[in-house]
Amino acid sequence: MGMVGGGRGAFIGAVHRMAAAIDGQIELVCGAFSSDAEKSRLSGEDLFLPADRVYGSYAEMIEKEKALPANERMDFVSIVTPNHVHFPPAKMALENGFHVVCDKPLCFNMEEAHELAQLVKDTGLIFALTHNYTGYPMVKHAKQMIANGTLGEVRKIVVEYPQGWLSTKLEDSEQKQASWRTDPSKSGIAGSIGDIGTHAENLAEYISGLQIKELCADLSTFVPGRQLDDDGNVLLRFNNGAKGLLFCSQIAVGEENNLRIRIYGTKAAVEWRQQDPNDLVVRHLDQPMQVLRTGVGDLAAAAQAHTRLPAGHPEGYLEAFASIYRNFAKHVQARLSGEEVDPVYDFPTVEDGVRGMQFIYKVVESGQSDDKWTTFE
């Protein structure tokens, strides 16, 4: 793995490295950790990389790695930069034959999104988008329950993602995470909707197997002087007739990272909350509530395939994130060996990324419209 971004002081780069390391399947072999060559060099040192595999730019990295013998060069590129620097390295990596793991949202705008999707299609390379929350075992189990019909027909989906860390104008401090996320030149047309709303949208569609087909949004910017939305409320209508609500907020003071989803069907309902990820609450018509737990009893094969520890040994965010990398790695290895990969080892793709970008655009469009419903094909 060669990394683009994630130098000293970055948050998500370290997450990607820890996630990639856990299962012992992926080795960080090179990186262009910063657009500042000196900072990149120092970051490489921190990571025990040989000096000649630490590059001053992603372009240099891709060129020089490509020039190495096949069994020495990196197998794929991991892109952990702010949104506006997803597309250029992803494009160049694909054009030079490297598989790609990319942080979400996919890129800066729709044009980039479509071009990237086309490139993946044309090159046949493997592209994973780190909608990491789909990596949790109980998310996998919930998806399987719905696919099996255990919930009956889905009627209602409530998905919410409150955070409080942008309740004040944190971007005026030196806080790096806040500053680029609230800057339209780096983040794109949306703030909270792009940063966390897309996780919520992705999770809802992933678990339910449904697609949003209409939405009605009310976006707000509560913190004075902020340039992008920091809160959004959205009514949803799904392609099977189910109704829903999605809200995301970064001004929900005191909330940490409280992604939560409830899906009600005709026969049963599921509830999952990211801060207690090893619980899956299942409610039935006139039967006792169940709390399914990671590692307990006879869970779906997909849940078991994403569980590393016995019951009661809590698995968390890094493990779920690691599962995205592990599954991606299985596909890369299978490409080399010609083997099949069991479908339980899935991961979000460039198509999920395009849909996420479309969601951002449609929510922003709806937020500015007087029409009640905006179609989302």
- The residues in 286-345 that bind a second copy, with binding defined as CB under 8 A, are 286-293, 295-298, 308-319
Say which residues have a Cβ less than 8 Å from residue 115's Cβ, sequence separation at least 6: 87, 91
Determine if 376 is a binding residue for a second copy (CB under 8 A): no
Alpha carbon 64 to its chain centroid, in Å, reads: 29
Query: What span, in angstroms and rounded, lies between the C-alpha atoms of 263 and 148?
Result: 14
The distance of closest approach from Cβ of residue 177 to a second copy in the complex, given in angstroms and rounded to an integer, is 8
Residue 9 touches a second copy, criterion: CB under 8 A: no
**Backbone angles phi and psi of 102, in degrees to 5:** -135, 140
> How many residues interact with a second copy (rule CB under 8 A)?
88
- Interaction mask 34-53, a second copy, x per CB under 8 A: -------------xx-----
Shortest reach from residue 279's CB to a second copy, in Å:
9
Angle, CA of 270, 200 and 172, to the nearest 5°: 140
Nearest to 302 by CA among 149, 141, 130: 141
Residues 219-278 that bind a second copy (CB under 8 A): 220, 222, 231, 233, 235, 237, 243-245, 247, 249, 251-258, 262, 264-269, 274-278
Report the nearest approach of a second copy to the CB of residue 115 (Å).
32
Footprint (CB under 8 A) of a second copy, residues 118-157: 155-156
Q: CB of residue 121 vs a second copy: minimum separation in angstroms?
A: 32
For a second copy, the closer of residues 24 and 225 by Cβ is 24
Minimum gap (Å) between residue 229 Cβ and a second copy: 11
CB 200 within 8 A of CB 206: no
Q: How many residues does the chain have?
A: 377
For 223-226, the CB contacts below 8 A with 24+ separation are 223/166, 223/167, 223/168, 223/169, 223/251, 224/169, 225/169, 226/166, 226/169, 226/171, 226/182, 226/191
Of the two residues 66 and 169, which places its CB atom closer to a second copy in the complex?
Answer: 169
Query: Could you tell me the smallest distance in angstroms from the CB atom of residue 313 to a second copy?
Result: 4
